[in-house]
């Protein structure tokens, strides 16, 4: 046909991807004659053109070549990597194979060999579709009875989703009297008497270490890095306040102002137990941490996390969200502190829930919290470590790797914890990134060259497209497909559009 490209043979194609393939080594003439004698042709060269008799679209015998698997890959470009099992939420399609792509982090752990933990980390520049993918995931997991807690929604994006599912969001900030005690005993109070003394001791130790971490992270948010001496003093104060040192059979409810009061007005027993020479020495040494806690009580978050909790998590709701959008005017640090307090509160409540069902805990905008400092990273790290035991899928939404690694000098312990945090998220969902950020990610997540190439290229072609990489398995390029209902519910650009129309 005029102008039609000349048909290429397999040999031509293979030569495009590597060296020209060699034909199969010829067998000796004697072999040919023997085979000819034994295998006489009983059918035409294309087979019989009849049903059940086989028919070959190309002339037999086929030419046979030898080539390496590397070159052969060029002939079969559509060979995909091993697909993930078709269980759980159907997210969208695998761009390479066109097949459906599913995600069920807990199943991937249970099926063995695929993932070691069910946690997910999503990385990507703003507006790439991270939160939309989270919403698609949790709505689709809801059909399997999996419920979700949004541990702090800075922009109030999840509120319409919760309302559409018939749940009432917890709204913190101006105009509401909702308050969450950062040092809440949560479900521990009701379950305490049902436990053996051994279990009570274990739970109390874990609770006090969480609170210690939280208070240290909060002090750090005020610009003071607590020392080991401060840690010891905070631990001693928490022990006393909760009633662990005086053989009390019930735990006493406490709050941040109680801790501050003990540090600011110590009784002789406290400074003596902590081996200070005098009350003055105690006050002088612990002044920075005491003042840091005082700032929390009187600062922009006053009244929100420093008194008894007035809200309750509804465990039966398919989606519980804590809307922080009314706190936005109080500044970035205040928001980050709020996320830290909520994170600690939700993880205690989620870990000790009675039903034993799988729960998704979403930490959207988690990068804000991690920027507070190494102690904040350590808090999230501790919460993630528990998740495999507690049937929780923790989802962290981050922008870039430096959100994690900027917490300390390279090679420092803080950076080591931050790298560990990535390892605690087997499921990494990588949305579009600039080249430099992508290179950092590729390094930390051991991405292959072609995966890095896609991260700065193919991933950016459409919103909601990402590389899904589960540990060291090869990544899948996946397009999240949102339903019309989901798009309407979660249109985070809606405000931009209305503003433009009103202009
Ligand atoms: N898969 C998708 N298909 C179509 N539209 C999408 C898809 N994913 C996201 N969008 C649209 O893109 C916009 C931004 O998405 P989204 O808020 O999820 O981004 P984000 O990465 O969470 O941004 P940020 O970092 O600012 O929170 C939304 O209006 C959303 O409707
Ligand atoms: Mg978002």
Cβ neighbours of residue 196 under 8 Å, at least 6 residues apart?
none
Q: Mean pLDDT check: name the lowest of 231-240, 251-260, 363-372.
A: 363-372
Report the DSSP beta bridge partners of residue 320: 149
Residues 351 and 393 in one domain: yes
Top-confidence range, 19-23, 65-69, 149-153, 194-198 = 149-153
In a domain, 234, yes or no: yes
Pocket test for ligand 1, best of 492, 499, 500 (most atoms within 8 A of CB): 492
**Cα of 133 from ligand 2 centre, angstroms:** 9
Judge whether residue 402 has pLDDT over 60.
yes
Q: Which ligand is nearest to the CA of 398?
A: 1
**Cα of 132 from ligand 2 centre, angstroms:** 7
| CA dihedral sign, ordered 138, 142, 147, 153 | positive
Q: What b-and-e string marks burial along 380-391, b requiring 16 or more CB atoms within 10 Å of the CB?
A: bbbbbebbbebb
**Cα of 126 from ligand 1 centre, angstroms:** 8
Helix (H) or strand (E) holding 23: strand 22-23
Q: Which atom of ligand 1 is nearest to the CA of 365?
A: 27
User: Once rounded to an integer, what is the mean pLDDT over residues 335-345?
Assistant: 90
> Which two structure tokens, joined as six digits, stand for 421?
């945090």
* Strand blocks (E) in 310-435: 319-326, 359-363, 392-398, 427-430
Residues 263 and 381 in one domain: no
- Residues of the chain with pLDDT > 90, as a percent, come to 41
In a domain, 401, yes or no: yes
Residues 446 and 325 in one domain: yes
Three-class SS state of 427: strand
Q: How many helices (H) and strands (E) does the chain have?
A: 21, 13
In a domain, 473, yes or no: yes
| pLDDT at residue 254 in the model | 94
Q: What is the pLDDT of residues 346-356, one digit of tens each?
A: 888 777 666 67
Structural domain harbouring 490: 89-167+321-502
Top-confidence range, 78-82, 301-305, 428-432 = 428-432
Structural domains of the chain, count? 2
Residues 95 and 212 in one domain: no
Residues 227 and 283 in one domain: yes
Alpha helices by DSSP H, 427-471: 435-445, 449-456
Strands 65-66 and 22-23: antiparallel
| pLDDT at residue 444 in the model | 82
Ligand 1 pocket by Cβ (under 6 Å): 124, 126-132, 463-464, 480, 482, 487, 490-493
Residues 325 and 399 in one domain: yes
Give the number of other Cβ atoms within 10 Å of residue 473's Cβ.
16
> Which two structure tokens, joined as six digits, stand for 162?
């919760």
In a domain, 137, yes or no: yes
| pLDDT at residue 390 in the model | 65
- Closest C-alpha residue for ligand 1 atom 7: 464
More confident residue, 264 or 441: 264
**Cα of 364 from ligand 2 centre, angstroms:** 7
Helix (H) or strand (E) holding 73: helix 69-75
Residues 289 and 212 in one domain: yes
Residues 249 and 391 in one domain: no
Judged on CB neighbours under 10 Å (0-12, 13-18, 19+), 87 is middle
- CATH code at 481? 3.40.50.300
What is the 3 state secondary structure string of 144-187?
Answer: CCCEEEEEEECCCCCHHHHHHCCCCCEEEECCCCCCCCCCCCCC
Helix (H) or strand (E) holding 484: helix 484-489
Of 229, 264, 297, which marks where a domain is finished?
297
Pocket test for ligand 1, best of 161, 463, 493 (most atoms within 8 A of CB): 463
In a domain, 452, yes or no: yes
Phi and psi, residue 430, nearest 5°? -110, 110
Residue 265: name the closest of 295, 286, 243 by CA. Answer: 286
In a domain, 50, yes or no: no
Residues 137 and 220 in one domain: no
Of 232, 264, 297, which marks where a domain is finished?
297
Specify whether the CB–CB gap between 372 and 336 falls below 8 A.
yes
Q: Rounded to the nearest 5 degrees, what angle is found at the Cα of 245, between the Cα atoms of 244 and 251?
A: 25
User: Once rounded to an integer, what is the mean pLDDT over residues 271-300?
Assistant: 93
Residues 225 and 161 in one domain: no
Residues 135 and 196 in one domain: no
| pLDDT at residue 258 in the model | 96
Residues 107 and 253 in one domain: no
Q: How far apart are CA 77 and CA 446, in angstroms?
A: 23
Rounded mean pLDDT of the chain?
Answer: 84
In a domain, 388, yes or no: yes
Helix axes 332-351 and 197-221, enclosed angle (nearest 10): 170
Residue 370: name the closest of 346, 345, 335, 394 by CA. Answer: 335
In a domain, 304, yes or no: no
């Amino acid at each position: 046909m005029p102008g039609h490209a000349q048909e290429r043979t397999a040999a031509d194609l293979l030569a495009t991807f590597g060296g020209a393939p060699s034909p199969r080594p010829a067998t000796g003439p004697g072999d040919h004659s023997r085979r000819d004698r034994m295998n006489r042709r009983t059918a035409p060269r294309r087979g019989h053109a009849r049903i059940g008799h086989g028919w070959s679209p190309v002339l037999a015998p086929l030419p046979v070549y030898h080539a390496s698997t590397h070159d052969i890959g060029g002939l079969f470009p559509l060979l995909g990597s091993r697909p993930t099992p078709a269980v759980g939420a159907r997210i969208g399609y695998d761009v390479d194979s066109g097949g459906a792509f599913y995600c069920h982090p807990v199943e991937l752990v249970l099926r063995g060999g695929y993932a070691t933990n069910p946690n997910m980390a999503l990385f990507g520049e703003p507006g790439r579709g991270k939160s939309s993918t989270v919403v698609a995931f949790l709505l689709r997991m809801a059909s399997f009875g999996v419920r979700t807690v949004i541990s702090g929604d800075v922009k109030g994006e999840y509120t319409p989703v919760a309302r559409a599912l018939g749940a009432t969001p917890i709204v913190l900030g101006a105009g509401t009297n909702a308050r969450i005690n950062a040092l809440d005993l949560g479900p521990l109070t009701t379950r305490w008497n049902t436990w053996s003394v051994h279990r009570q001791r274990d739970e109390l130790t874990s609770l006090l270490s969480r609170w210690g971490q939280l208070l240290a992270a909060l002090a750090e948010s005020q610009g003071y890095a607590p020392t080991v001496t401060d840690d010891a003093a905070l631990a001693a104060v928490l022990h006393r306040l909760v009633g662990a040192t005086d053989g009390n059979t019930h735990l006493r409810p406490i709050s941040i102002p109680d801790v501050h009061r003990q540090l600011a007005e110590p009784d002789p027993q406290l400074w003596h137990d902590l081996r200070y020479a005098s009350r003055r020495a105690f006050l002088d040494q612990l002044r920075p941490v005491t003042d840091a806690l005082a700032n929390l009580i009187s600062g922009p978050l006053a009244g929100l996390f420093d008194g008894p909790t007035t809200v309750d998590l509804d465990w039966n709701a398919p989606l519980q969200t804590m809307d922080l959008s009314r706190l936005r005017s109080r500044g970035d640090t205040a928001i980050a502190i709020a996320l830290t307090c909520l994170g600690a509160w939700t993880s205690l409540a989620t870990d000790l829930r009675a039903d034993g069902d799988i729960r998704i805990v979403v930490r959207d905008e988690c990068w804000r919290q991690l920027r507070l400092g190494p102690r904040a990273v350590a808090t999230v790290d501790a919460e993630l470590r528990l998740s495999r035991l507690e049937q929780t899928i923790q989802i962290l939404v981050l922008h870039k790797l430096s959100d994690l690694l900027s917490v300390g000098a390279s090679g420092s312990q803080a950076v080591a914890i931050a790298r560990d945090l990535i390892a605690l998220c087997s499921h990494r969902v990588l949305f579009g990134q600039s080249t430099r950020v992508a290179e950092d990610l590729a390094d930390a997540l051991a991405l292959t060259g072609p995966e890095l190439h896609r991260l700065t290229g193919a991933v950016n072609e459409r919103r909601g497209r990402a590389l899904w990489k589960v540990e060291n398995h090869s990544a899948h390029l996946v397009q999240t497909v949102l339903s019309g209902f989901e798009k309407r519910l979660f249109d985070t650009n809606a405000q931009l559009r209305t503003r433009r129309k009103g202009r």
